Amino acid sequence: MPLPYRRLVVKIGSNVLTQDNGLPDLPRMAHLVDQIVQLKAQGLEVIVVSSGAVAAGRSLITVPAQADAVRSRQLLAAVGQVKLLSTYAELLAKHGLLCAQVLVTKEDFRDRQHYLNMRNCFQELLQQQVIPIVNENDVISVTELMFTDNDELASLIAAQLDADALIILSNVDGIFTGDPRLPDSELIREIAPADTGFEQFITAQRSQFGRGGMLTKCHMAHKVAKLGISVHIANGKTTDILPGVLAGTALSTWFRPSKTASGKKKWLAHAHSAVKATVRVNAGARAALSTPGKAVSLLPVGILGIEGEFKKGDIVQIADEAGLSLGLGIAEYGLDKALERLGHQHQRPLVHYDYLFLNPDLA
């Protein structure tokens, strides 16, 4: 049965765009562009999060084996990003379409106003029928500025743009009940928002050319689905995989979405790097926050203590007595007022439910 999507984020992994020798797979890239053009012709908006800059760099320049790994990656990414985008531009131009380069780092998602400015840019590109090609800015993204991988980046973009679906293209058909290479492993076709335990089937091994692995994809997919966005993990090397996923005929794993979250909650879901302080809560507050289907704000009466300083509008992390993170929220007032009201009843919430994102696994 065809899926009713209007706006899609398509993440294309390194192993999809790269040959076994580490160089770009241009025929496959051309086939993926043909599929994207087909989706555009059907009236869908498509945002592409594409790996492959380092592979493209390898096709242009040789780095000595003894060279520094970080600097080599920066060099290959800087040279290769030009080649990667020019290839996309040439392929799309054959169909009369334009693309735009969007390079980002984690820092770009920390500030709420910067976040909204970036979203406005995306909206204008889509309105003008331009296809955004998004990638991490590997030239300056090192250590703490790096995303886990482009799966995390694609998740952020999907949440930022209120996408209907995120399609993650890997080199396997989806999530299996074991090693995909073994004959007794079965593909898990559907994962509901409340499903748990499927991580036990997943190997933590990373892909040959990318930084991430299936475990990362699974965690990101579950979080995004909790925000009300469908997520499909499928094999980007399969012929006509994108229309097949949308038609419901292709092999893939579908993470079914929960009810749609607000824009603020979608931002908060990925805002760990912007946390200013940690608010520790007692067992009663933890139980109230984790009650399924109940909208609960964080009240001062349930707060045990606060570590760090914050002002009104800052992001705070909420943790239980053992230090386990329960979620993130936007403070309704600053630290001084919070300390005055600590443990008191009948006080205004420190974090209102509308500005509170609780971890999907909280129970």
Q: What CATH number does residue 134 fall under?
A: 3.40.1160.10
**Any domain includes 305:** yes
> What local confidence, expressed as pLDDT, does residue 207 receive?
45
Q: Which of 250, 265, 280 is the last residue of a domain?
A: 265
Q: For residue 41, what are the contacts with CB-CB under 8 A and spacing of at least 6?
A: none
**Position 105 in a domain:** yes
Domain assignment of residue 127, given as a range: 7-265
In a domain, 200, yes or no: yes
Nearest to 172 by CA among 204, 136, 214: 214
State the chain's mean pLDDT as an integer.
Answer: 86
Q: How many helices (H) and strands (E) does the chain have?
A: 11, 13
User: Is residue 158, in this structure, part of any structural domain at all?
Assistant: yes
Strand order in the sheet with 230-235: 99-104, 131-136, 45-50, 7-12, 165-170, 230-235, 252-255, 190-191
Looking at 239, 265, 291, which one is the last position of a domain? Answer: 265
Residue 209 in this model has a pLDDT that exceeds 50 = no
Q: Per the domain annotation, does 2 fall within a domain?
A: no
| Same-domain check for residues 203 and 122 | yes
Structure tokens at 79: 């040279």
Query: Could you tell me if residue 363 is inside a domain?
Result: no
User: pLDDT (tens digit, 9 = 90+) per residue, 320-360?
Assistant: 999 999 989 999 999 999 999 999 989 999 999 888 888 87
**Pair (259, 276) in one structural domain:** no
Contact 350, 342 (CB under 8 A): no
Among residues 150, 194, 108, the alpha carbon closest in space to that of 17 is found at 150
345 and 223, same structural domain?
no
How far is 357 from 262, CA to CA, in rounded Å?
A: 10
pTM beyond 0.85: no
Same domain assignment for residues 151 and 255: yes
| pLDDT tens-digit readout, 298-321 | 999 999 999 999 998 889 999 999
Shared domain for 328 and 346, answered yes or no, is yes
Is 150 annotated as contributing to ligand binding?
A: yes
Domain count, the chain: 2
> Is position 34 annotated in a ligand binding site?
no
CA 143 from centre of chain: 18
Higher pLDDT, 103 or 212: 103
What are the backbone dihedrals phi and psi of residue 358, each rounded to the nearest 5 degrees, phi first?
Answer: -95, 145
Q: Does 203 share its domain with 350?
A: no
Distance of CA 18 to the CA centre of its chain: 21
290 or 47: whose pLDDT is higher? 47
H/E element holding 10? strand 7-12
State the CATH number of the domain containing residue 324: 2.30.130.10
40 and 17 fall within a common domain: yes
Domain-located, residue 33 = yes
Q: Which of 205, 239, 265 is the last residue of a domain?
A: 265
334 and 209 fall within a common domain: no
Q: Residue 211: is its pLDDT beyond 60?
A: no
**Per-residue confidence (pLDDT) for residue 177, from 0 to 100:** 82
**Does 101 reside within a domain?**
yes
- Statement: residue 130 has pLDDT above 90: yes
Phi, psi of 127 (to 5 degrees): -65, -30
Chain Cα centroid distance, residue 327: 17
How many angstroms separate the CA atoms of 138 and 78, rounded?
7
Which residue would you say has higher pLDDT here, 192 or 161?
161
pLDDT of residue 223 exceeding 90, the answer is no
In this structure, are 116 and 16 located in the same domain? yes
- Residue 15 marked ligand-binding: no
Higher pLDDT, 109 or 156: 156
Q: Is the pLDDT of residue 12 over 90?
A: yes
Q: Which carries the bigger pLDDT value, residue 295 or residue 131?
A: 131
Q: Are residues 210 and 86 in the same domain?
A: yes
What value does the mean pLDDT take over residues 234-242? 96
pLDDT class for 292, splitting at 50, 70, 90? confident
> Of 69 and 329, which is predicted with more confidence?
329
51 is in an annotated binding site: yes
Q: Are residues 37 and 159 in the same domain?
A: yes
> Do 25 and 158 have their domain in common?
yes
